[in-house]
Amino acid sequence: MTKKQFYIRAFLFVLITGCFLFSIEKIITLKMKNVKSDYVGKINKVLNGNAKEDITIWGASTAEGNIVPKIISDSTKNSVFNLGLDGTNLNQYIGLLKYYIKKTPPKTIILAADIHGALMRRKAIYRNYDWIHSLDCKEIYEALYTIDKEQILKAEYIPFYNLLLYGKHNLKYFKTDFGSYKYPMNGFVERNGIITSKVNEQRDKIKLSNDLTVLEQYKSIIDLAHSYDHEIYIVITPCYIEGLKMCSNYQNTIRLIQNLSLNNAKVLDYSNHEMNQERHLFKDNTHLNKSGAIKFSSILAKDLTKK
């Protein structure tokens, strides 16, 4: 083999391999954009303009597992969908919410804020493989960029880097039915179990994160929602009383969130509600079990109808 033939074969090998990897990446991204289940389906529901319900519920797992759409719907006579994403607070989903606010006719938006994570600033993108396919959305790109600039730039400019991020996590979606959205409980995910009492266990106090950058993000979302004529509620979700006592600065966290009412948001605070003393309603300190979610949703629904 001559040197020229070697270079030609090497070039063809690199070219064919590159085309193959490029095709695989594009196929996965296309598949991800059409997923209609799990957390990715919730993201796509918004981006594809299918989040048309009268009321949408946003937040992390304390939105996803604490608020039952059917109960809210039965009480308010409005359609309701729970867009809660486990482990994903406003600091990460703000881009998706901004897109929703701008592209959706006036609706009611409920932001579930638990005192443990509501004002926490993320140091890394949680479940980045669920979001990479949506980086062509300007609002999402900007939000994730502020969390991990280096990773987002790699995803944008390094060939096939997204394949590393997708990894094995997205293979399950190749067997997914893409026909319709699969949310039998309208986005709600129930949790089971009862928190174990640990009265005699000595534990160190927890200091909650009260990042002012995230607080400003709440204010910016409230202002944006009002500018597009959306109605917005901030709901401070229940917290088991023993868990609340373990947080050294929870009063400050609650005060900061309550003060969002000064920005014309309707703040509903359940951090001191009597149900927080009922251990059998909690799976852990911040998550209600199925019975707790039903009770809390009934209380919330009643308060929403008082408006």
Q: Which residues pair with 110 in a beta bridge?
A: 57, 233
Using DSSP's 3-state secondary structure scheme, residue 125 falls into coil
What does the block give as tokens for 300?
């919330």
Using DSSP's 3-state secondary structure scheme, residue 250 falls into helix
Using DSSP's 3-state secondary structure scheme, residue 19 falls into helix
Closest residue by Cα to residue 166 from 18, 20, 25: 25
Model confidence over 34-65: pLDDT tens digits? 999 999 999 999 999 999 999 999 999 999 99
Mean pLDDT taken over the chain: 92
Distance CA 125, CA 147 (A): 6
Angle made by CA atoms 219, 221, 222, in degrees to the nearest 5: 65
pLDDT of residue 306: 84
Of residues 198 and 202, more confidently modeled: 198
User: Could you tell me if 47 and 137 are in contact, meaning their C-beta atoms sit under 8 angstroms apart?
Assistant: yes
pLDDT of residue 20: 79
pLDDT of residue 294: 98
Give residue 203's pLDDT band: very low, low, confident or very high (50, 70, 90): low
Phi, psi of 158 (to 5 degrees): -90, 120
Give residue 72's pLDDT band: very low, low, confident or very high (50, 70, 90): very high
Is residue 202 scored above 70 in pLDDT? Answer: no
Is residue 116 scored above 70 in pLDDT? Answer: yes
Phi, psi of 288 (to 5 degrees): -80, 150
Of residues 3 and 50, more confidently modeled: 50
Model confidence over 204-239: pLDDT tens digits? 788 899 999 999 999 999 999 999 999 999 999 999
Rounded average pLDDT over 178-192: 89
- Single-letter code of the amino acid located at 245: K
What is the DSSP annotation of 25-71?
Answer: HHHHHHHHHT--SHHHHHHHHHHTT----SEEEESSHHHHTT--HHH
Give residue 177's pLDDT band: very low, low, confident or very high (50, 70, 90): low
Distance CA 22, CA 18 (A): 6
Report which secondary-structure segment, H or E, holds 231: strand 231-236
- N-term to C-term CA, the chain: 82
Is residue 198 scored above 80 in pLDDT? Answer: no
Distance CA 66, CA 282 (A): 10
Could you write out the three-class secondary structure of 269-295? ECCCCHHHHCHHHECCCCCECHHHHHH
Which CATH number fits the domain 16-194+203-304, given the four candidates 3.50.50.60, 3.20.20.60, 3.90.960.10, 3.40.50.1110? 3.40.50.1110
Distance CA 304, CA 307 (A): 6
Q: What percentage of the chain has pLDDT greater than the value 70?
A: 96
Place of tokens 């994160």: 209
Could you write out the three-class secondary structure of 176-205? CCCCCCCCCCCCCCCCCCCCCCCCCCCCCC
What does the block give as tokens for 140?
């999402």
How does DSSP classify residue 206?
B
Is residue 186 scored above 80 in pLDDT? Answer: yes
Model confidence over 5-18: pLDDT tens digits? 767 777 777 778 77
Distance CA 44, CA 175 (A): 17
pLDDT of residue 240: 95
Model confidence over 126-144: pLDDT tens digits? 999 999 999 999 999 999 9
pLDDT of residue 23: 82
Is residue 200 scored above 70 in pLDDT? Answer: no
| Nearest 10 degrees: Cα torsion 82, 210, 300, 188 | 20
Q: Is the pTM of this model over 0.75?
A: yes
User: Could you tell me if 144 and 152 are in contact, meaning their C-beta atoms sit under 8 angstroms apart?
Assistant: yes
- Looking from the CA of 226 toward its CB, the CA atoms found within 13 Å total 12
What does the block give as tokens for 219?
């204010």
Rounded average pLDDT over 144-164: 94
